[in-house]
Amino acid sequence: MMYDTTIVRYGEIFLKSESVKREFERKLIKNIKLKLNNSNLNSNVEIIRKRHRIYIKSDRPEIIAKEVANIFGVTSTSPAIETIAEIPEIEKIAVNLAKNTIRDGETFAVRAYRTGKHTFSSKDIEIELGRQILEGINTSVDLENPDKTIFIEVRDDLGFVFDKKIKGVGGLPYGTQGRVIALISTGIDSPVATWLMMKRGCEIVGVHFGDEDADITKIIKKLEEYSVYPIKLLVIPYDEILSKISAKSGKYTCVVCKRTMCRIAWRISEVENAHGIVTGDNLGQVASQTLKNLEVTSVVSPIYRPLIGMDKEDTIKLAKKIGTYDISTGKSCPFVPSKPATRAKLDKIEEIEGKIGIDEEIDDLLEMILDKPKREIPKTYIII
C-alpha cells in the first residue's frame, strides 16, 4: 500500500488568536519547506494548509513524516493515504492497509476522527471497518492495548487512512519568539538548555568561550537539525582573561568567571538585537550554581535558565533523546579552585573585579571581536 500524504499536526499554535495563529502557521510552513530542502526532499512536493492541519503531498511521505516530526511546533506526523469522505472508499483502503499491517493473530483497534458535515459518525466508521477487518484477517479486537491501530481521519470532503503516529518535538515554530544569546559549552547541560529555548520558538546566537574545535561544531550541527536554520556561533578566546581571573580570585574564580561571561554575552546581545541570555545553570548542581552564587553572577538582565529545577538525570535523558549526549565531551576546567566558594558576596566579587580591571579586559576583547564602541554594563539583574 502506497502512502501519498504526510499529515502534520501542531498543538498550542491553534490556541492563539487568529492573527497570531496565521503568522505561526506561515512560519511553520516556511520551516517545513526549508527542512525538506535541506534534506533533499523538496522535489514533487505540495504543501496544503487547512484548519489545524498541514498536508504534504509527495512520493516519499514516510521519510518526510520522520523528518518533519523534528521541527519545532509539530506535535505529530503520519504517513497517510488520501481518499474521499465516503465510507465505502475509506473502508476499501483501510481494509487493504490492515491486511498489510496486521500480522496473523495480532490484535487491533480502529480509531476514527471526523470534522465537518457527514451522514455518518466516527463510531459508524469504527464499527463497520472493524467488522470488515475481522471478516478478512485472523485477528481480534483489543481497544485497550492493541498490537496495531488503523486510524481514520475525515475532514470535510476528504478522508485519510493511516496506521502510525510519529511523535513530534512540539513547542512553537523556531524564530517566532525573537533572538537570544546562548552560552554553549561542550558539556551536557548548555546544549539541552539551548534546545529547550529553541523549542519555545527562540532564535539562537551561540557564544562559546574557548577554541572552535570539532566538539562544539558537532553540537551546533546537531542543534541545527532542529532549528533548520544555520545557528550563528561566536567563539570567544578566553584563556587569557580566565588566567587573570584565576590569579586574583582564588576560591571566587568560578563566580567571577561566570559574571564575566554574562557581561560579554550581554554586550553581544546588543549587537545581535537579542532579548536575553541562556545558560545551562541548574540549582545546586555545582558550587557556582548555589542560589547565592546565581544571584551574584546575574549581573545582566535577563538571564534564562531552563534547567534550573531539573534533576541531572532528567537533563541526561533529554540530551540522549535529542542527540547531544554522545557528542558532549564535558571537558574539565583547569582553573576550578580546589574549594570553590558557595556563598559569594557581591561587594567581595566587585572588589576582586576592580583589582583585575575586568571592565577594561572585556572592553579590549570585544573591541577586537565586535569592533564596537564600549558600553556600560547595567547594574540591575533578573533571575529567570
Q: Read off the pLDDT of residues 65-93 as tens digits, 9 standing for 90 and up.
A: 999 999 999 999 999 999 999 999 999 99
pLDDT, one tens digit per residue, over 252-293 is 999 999 999 999 999 999 999 999 999 999 998 887 888 989
Q: How many CB atoms lie within 10 A of CB 157?
A: 11
| List of residues 6+ apart from 382 with CB closer than 8 A | 298, 301, 302, 303
pLDDT for the residue 372:
47
Q: Which is higher by pLDDT, 318 or 136?
A: 318
* 377 pLDDT more than 50: no
* 369 pLDDT more than 90: no
> Which has the closest alpha carbon to 9: 49, 46, 53?
53
| H or E segment and range at residue 30 | helix 18-38
Q: Tell me the pLDDT band of 61, cut-offs 50, 70 and 90.
A: very high
pLDDT, one tens digit per residue, over 339-350 is 998 999 999 999
Q: Which fold has domain 179-370?
A: Rossmann fold (3.40.50)
* 368 pLDDT more than 90: no
Q: What is the mean pLDDT of residues 298-324?
A: 93
Q: What is the mean pLDDT of residues 150-167?
A: 96
Q: How many angstroms separate the CA atoms of 199 and 71, rounded?
A: 9
Query: What proportion of the chain, given as a percentage, has pLDDT over 70?
Result: 96
Domain 5-167 is in which class? alpha beta
Domain ranges across the chain: 5-167, 179-370
Query: What proportion of the chain, given as a percentage, has pLDDT over 90?
Result: 80
pLDDT, one tens digit per residue, over 174-196 is 999 999 999 999 999 999 999 99
Q: Tell me the pLDDT band of 371, cut-offs 50, 70 and 90.
A: low
pLDDT, one tens digit per residue, over 205-214 is 999 998 778 8
pLDDT for the residue 297:
87
Q: Tell me the pLDDT band of 139, cut-offs 50, 70 and 90.
A: very high
375 phi and psi, to 5 degrees? Answer: -130, 150
Q: How many angstroms separate the CA atoms of 8 and 21, rounded?
A: 15
pLDDT for the residue 301:
74
Strands 53-57 and 46-50: antiparallel
Helix-strand-coil split of the chain, %, nearest 5: 45, 20, 35
| H or E segment and range at residue 183 | strand 179-183
pLDDT for the residue 206:
96
SS3 90: helix
